[in-house]
Amino acid sequence: MTVMNPTRLFRKKDPYQNHISRTRGEKIGGVIICIFLFALSLIMIYPFWHVLMYSISEPERALGGGLFFYPRGISFFSYSLVLRNAQIWIAYKNTILKTLFGTLISVVLSAMTAYPLSVKRLRGRNFFSMMIFFTMLFGGGTIPTYLLVKSLSLIDTFWALILPGAVSAYNMFILRNYMQSLPSELEESARIDGAMAFTILFRIILPLAAPSLAAIAMFYGVSNWNSYMDCLLYTNSTSLQTLQLYLRQVLLQTSSANAAMTVTGETSEYVSDTQVQMVIVAVSVIPILIVYPYLQRFYTKGITVGAVKG
Amino acid sequence: MVKQRDLRNASGRGYLSKLARDIRMDFLLYVMLLPGIIYFVVFKYAPMYGIIIGFSDYNIVSGFSDMPWVGFGIFEDLFTKAAFQRAFINNIKISFLKILWGFPMPIILSILINEVKNLFYKKFVQTTVILPHFISWFVIYGMLYALCNLSTGAIPEILKSINAAFGTDIEVVNYLAQKETFMTVLILSYLWQSSGYGTIVYLAAITGIDQQLYEAAMIDGAGKMRQLWHITLPSLRSTIITLLIFRVGSIMNAGFDQIFALSNSLVISIADIIDTYVYRIGMEEAKFSLATAAGLFKSLIGLVLVLGTNWIAKKVDPDSGIM
């Protein structure tokens, strides 16, 4: 006769329910937690909802203010005004290009740095790792970096939006740690078969490191989309303006009828400043909302696969 | 493997020849590493050389070639500036408040989320709380503006109708432009933006706890609170310590992105931090030496704090720490 494992027995009954019946206090506690978390979720979502509902309401009715649980009438007039403006398309184009090329360059550079550092026999591996790790602890600062970018003649070029922040030491280490956890026999046997380092990286290691590769691609992508310091510091011309800075420019003009003027080039009685601002906020956040389900999945994976150890 | 060992045995014994051989064998790996190393040398280490601006009288016309060395003169000048002292104090104050409110929040939230038994609901809550992390601070500023502005904002309208309905006299102000309320806006928006994101790590750690521990505790009659105190929190201990080191070590980073987006000239006296100070005197007033000195001061304190907290953490718990 086999000895029964008591925990096994209880688990069979119901995997989610505690096997000792919950006390009344615990049940009430559970309900309170659920209600609290629901309220919290509402607080997290409402600002997004507010902006979206405000932006599609009829302009005069939106001026009433208050909470917007549903749009007050539907009008896409402000959207058509905003989207008719050339500058927003320039800003959109720059942000998309920055996100695509910036992320591509960042991921390739990070992978090419991470792989050699994950090969345990490589001489100087610890030295190079420490050298990169140190940049996470200490840096030259804003002004020296600005002067460097200036002396490289990158000011007011598209490269200034991509190169200064191309590799994040943190992301590189996430990737390296993941590659280190792959069995080293893979690399060794491929080498014996005569595969070159680049072939091994792109054909064997990267496909296996896909989860962490996707995660850092997301990290880079989101930070490229949202960052504005590089654009603020290193570019002056409006042809290189990114979406975030365009948003800033429009949001800061709250004093008079400026926002609508800036965007549409005309003051229209049918449109309010606030609504134009809300439309631009909506326009810059909608792409993020669309890809958010993927972002969340890969982010969660990425954060849990790699803890940084120097 | 065989090929490698044969090569190693065949060549000479001197350190240099061994080195040369190892480099030759992994030549392509070094080639691959090169662009990354060049990146870090150029964009991270070259600016560290630029720190000498903080010890010299730099002017933009003559540049690096002709700048008189003044030693700690710039720093002496910096420390007497009232605006810098103010920025330093604000920096510590804002960071401290953010740690005080913001550090426990993800831990509490993860424990609560973990109590939800319905998987669909759990997923829903997780998805919504992480969302704010993915948007920029200018978008958040836009949302705050929509909620707080006096003419069409949501909150002033609600307060006005409460006042009208109950005859109360709640003062309706623009929270973004008042010294008294701006710190609250700063902390609350920070909590809104970052708390959910912080739960990812803790939830992963909680999921990793062996369920049999809870079952054993329940059989012994431990209630929820005792399970929390004796199982969940001790299991999270090393995660909490490691994250706290990172957090305390980055106390000098009070959140430039947030403050730059949210603050305005009306609240500058309580919102100006070292980073915004550096940006203002460096990029707007072109006082490069002073700004570099301020930035360096900040980085050095940050470095000492990270190393210090890491050292303490290792004493407390040898498994934790970042190095």
The arrangement of secondary structure in A80-305, i.e. its CATH architecture, is: Orthogonal Bundle (1.10)
Check if the beta carbon of residue B209 is closer than 8 Å to that of residue B218: no
Which of B40, B155, B228 is the mutation pick for testing A, counting most A CBs within 10 A?
A: B40
Q: Look at residue A287 and tell me whether its pLDDT is greater than 50.
A: yes
**Whether A144 contacts B292, CB under 8 Å:** yes
Q: Is residue B182 part of a domain?
A: yes
Q: Which residues contact A121 (CB under 8 A, 6 or more apart)?
A: B22, B26
User: Which residues from chain B sit within 8 angstroms of residue A145, using beta carbons?
Assistant: 43, 47, 50
Q: Are residues B108 and B192 in the same domain?
A: yes
Whole-prediction pTM value? 0.86
Q: Are residues B49 and B128 in the same domain?
A: no
| pLDDT confidence tier of residue A310, bands split at 50, 70 and 90 | very low
Which pLDDT value is given to residue A86?
A: 86
**B277 and B235, same structural domain?**
yes
Alpha helices in chain B (DSSP H): 2-10, 15-25, 27-40, 46-49, 73-80, 82-102, 104-115, 119-130, 137-148, 154-166, 179-207, 211-219, 224-227, 233-249, 256-262, 268-271, 274-279, 288-316
Nearest CA in chain A to B306: A137
Tell me whether residue B169 is exposed, middle or buried, using C-beta atoms within 10 angstroms of its C-beta: 0 to 12, 13 to 18, 19 or more. exposed
Provide the domain count of chain B.
Answer: 2
Q: Is A112 on the interface with B (CB under 8 A)?
A: yes
At A13 the pLDDT is 47
| A254 pLDDT tier (thresholds 50, 70, 90) | low
pLDDT in tens, A5-49: 444 444 444 555 555 566 788 888 889 999 999 999 999 999 999
Residue B220 lies in a domain: yes
Tens-digit pLDDT string for chain B (323 aa): 445 555 555 545 688 888 888 888 888 999 999 999 999 999 999 999 988 888 888 877 777 777 788 888 889 889 999 999 999 999 999 999 999 999 999 999 999 999 898 889 999 999 999 999 999 999 999 999 888 888 778 888 888 888 888 887 777 888 888 888 899 999 999 999 999 988 988 998 898 888 899 889 888 888 888 889 999 999 898 888 888 877 888 888 888 999 999 988 889 899 999 999 999 999 888 888 999 999 999 999 999 998 888 888 788 777 666 66
B193 touches chain A (CB under 8 A): no
Average of per-residue pLDDT across A49-58: 89
Q: Is A48 on the interface with B (CB under 8 A)?
A: yes
Q: Which of residues 1-40 of B touch A (CB under 8 A)?
A: 1-3, 19, 22-23, 26, 28-33, 35-37, 39-40
Same domain membership, residue B179 and residue B48: no
B61 located within any domain: no
Positive or negative: CA dihedral A289, A290, A294, A298 = negative
The predicted pLDDT at position A164 comes to: 93
Residue A198: burial class (beta carbons within 10 Å; 0-12, 13-18, 19+): middle
- Residues B99 and B248 placed together within one structural domain of the fold: yes
Domain containing B289 equals: 78-316
What is the pLDDT at residue A101?
A: 95
The answer on B250 and B157 residing in a single domain is yes
**Smallest Cα–Cα separation from B288: which of B57, B84, B82?**
B57
Within 8 A of A188 by CB-CB distance, chain B residues are 1
How confident is the model at residue A259, as a pLDDT? Answer: 59
Q: Do A145 and B47 touch (CB under 8 A)?
A: yes
Identify the closest residue of chain A to B281 by CA–CA distance. A143
The string over B172-191, giving b where at least 16 C-beta atoms fall within 10 Å of a residue's C-beta and e elsewhere, is bebbbbeeeebbebbbebbb
Q: Are residues B257 and B306 in the same domain?
A: yes
User: Is B157 in Cβ contact with A66 (below 8 Å)?
Assistant: yes
> B8 and B97: one domain?
no
Do A138 and B303 count as a contact with CB atoms less than 8 A apart? yes
Could you say which DSSP state residue A164 is in? T
Q: How far apart (Å, rounded) are the C-alpha atoms in residues B204 and B195?
A: 15
Mark yes or no for CB contact A146/B26 under 8 Å. Answer: no
The DSSP secondary-structure symbol of A120 reads: T
Residue B63, domain member (yes or no): no
- Cβ proximity of B3 and B13 under 8 Å: no
For the stretch A144-200, pLDDT in tens is 999 999 999 999 999 999 999 999 998 999 899 889 888 888 888 888 888 888 889
Do B148 and B39 lie in one domain? The reply is no
pLDDT of residue A60: 77
Please answer whether residues B178 and B267 qualify as being in contact, where contact means their C-beta atoms are separated by less than 8 angstroms.
yes
> Which residues in B lie closer than 8 A to residue A112 (C-beta atoms)?
32-33, 35-36
More confident residue, A257 or B78: B78
Asked whether residue B40 falls in the same domain as residue B152, the answer is: no
> Rounded CA gap, B9 and A50, in Å?
72
A50: closest CA of chain B, how far (Å): 8
Asked whether the beta carbons of A181 and A305 are under 8 A apart, the reply is no
Same domain assignment for residues B102 and B188: yes
CATH no. for residue B224? 1.10.3720.10
Q: How confident is the model at residue A268 (pLDDT cuts 50, 70, 90)?
A: low
Instruction: Classify residue B153 as left (phi > 0), alpha (psi -120 to 50) or beta.
Output: beta
**Shared-domain flag, residues B302 and B172:** yes
Pairwise CB contact (< 8 Å): A251 & B138: yes
CB B189 within 8 A of CB B144: yes
- Say if residues B158 and A66 touch (Cβ distance below 8 Å): yes
Residues of chain B contacting A128 with CB distance shorter than 8 Å:
33, 37
Tens of pLDDT, residue by residue over A121-149, are 888 899 999 999 999 889 888 999 999 99
Within a domain: residue B23? yes
Q: Which of A197, A254, A295 sits opposite B32 (nearest CB)?
A: A197
Residue contact B26–A7, C-beta within 8 A? no
Domain boundaries, chain A: 19-75, 80-305
Q: Are B181 and B175 in contact (CB under 8 A)?
A: yes
Task: Indicate if the pLDDT at residue A255 is higher than 50.
Answer: no
Q: At what angle do helices B82-102 and B73-80 cross, to 10 degrees?
A: 70
Q: Is B75 on the interface with A (CB under 8 A)?
A: no
The pair of three-digit structure tokens given for residue A97, joined into one six-digit string: 């290009």
The encoded tokens of residue A145 equal: 């970096």
